[in-house]
Amino acid sequence: MTAANRLRDLMADDVVYAPGVWDGLTARLAEQAGFPALCASGFAISAALGLPDAELYTMSENLDAVRRIIEASGLPVIADIDTGYGNAVNAARTARRFADAGVAAVFMEDQESPKRCPICVGDPVPVIGVEEAAGKIRAVRDAVGDRLVVIARTDTAGREALERAETYAAAGAEMIMPVTKTFASAAEWRECRDRVGVPLMATLTASTWVERDLTPDVLREVGVRLALLPTQILLSATGAMRETLRRLRSGEPPAQVSADALPHHDFVDLIGFADVEKAQETYLPAATA
């Protein structure tokens, strides 16, 4: 079964939660925590490069990160492909490359390139024309068929967002992704689902109203089938690392700082050293008496 069909089956049962990961370690941790799917978060992948989420990395850099995530985990991966990295032809090639890598789903926004994270900048972010955006969605769908769950994101708001969502669904989007600022209430999310006739994907970005108000019951009621948690792990990890560095730099004894961290042997276990040792022994010459 393809990764896309595995994700479709999961969404048929209930809302699927996918935490935002950016490398093999975070992918492994999320899988071990019991999540059914992963989001290759563009925000987090940018941050891992020391960059803001402003489409400063290339398609190839994004794809490399996604491949590492897939290699470390057996879970379906939903990938952020920003604006598709160009026009319709660029977006089609991007989608093919991600499908070939084993991605389950991609989401693409209708911002002008280079995009900017809408919760990090002022309103409004510039978007391309609706027909151009629909053409990019058609190009992606033509390029990958059903190998990917194609998710169309709109960075507009209100009535315009509803109209764009309808157009994008008609162009071949299997799901619609309103962003945090698209709608101001759960009722508007429900209206969007009713108008477009396809399921919605939500990004429950940390410290936003959607994280607070779109509870599991509300998500089901408004037609969301996929809920991303794109920034929670990143912000938590960053806070912990910054505090550890502060303590070390202040002169606190390293042994005292380490006492509050994950024990070394626990990390060795979770990263899979025992599995590697067992595999190595399988291929070594048999011990002689």
DSSP letter at 199 equals -
Name the pTM for this structure: 0.94
User: Which pLDDT tens digit goes with each residue over 38-60?
Assistant: 999 999 999 999 999 999 999 99
Contact 139, 91 (CB under 8 A): yes
Tokens standing for residue 107: 């989401």
Tokens standing for residue 141: 């769908």
In this predicted structure, which of 15-19, 22-26, 111-115, 253-257 has the lowest mean pLDDT?
A: 111-115
Task: Give me the percent of the chain exceeding a pLDDT of 70.
Answer: 99
CATH number belonging to domain 3-237: 3.20.20.60
Q: Is the dihedral of CA 35, 13, 140, 151 positive or negative?
A: negative
d(CA 39, CA 61): 16
User: Which pLDDT tens digit goes with each residue over 98-137?
Assistant: 999 999 999 999 999 888 887 777 778 899 999 999 999 9
Which residues, in sequence order, are CB contacts of 33 under 8 Å at separation 6+? Answer: 19
* Inter-helix orientation angle 264-271/273-283, to 10°: 50
Write down the residue that tokens 């769950």 correspond to: 149
Residue ranges of the chain that CATH labels 3.20.20.60: 3-237
Tokens standing for residue 88: 């319709």
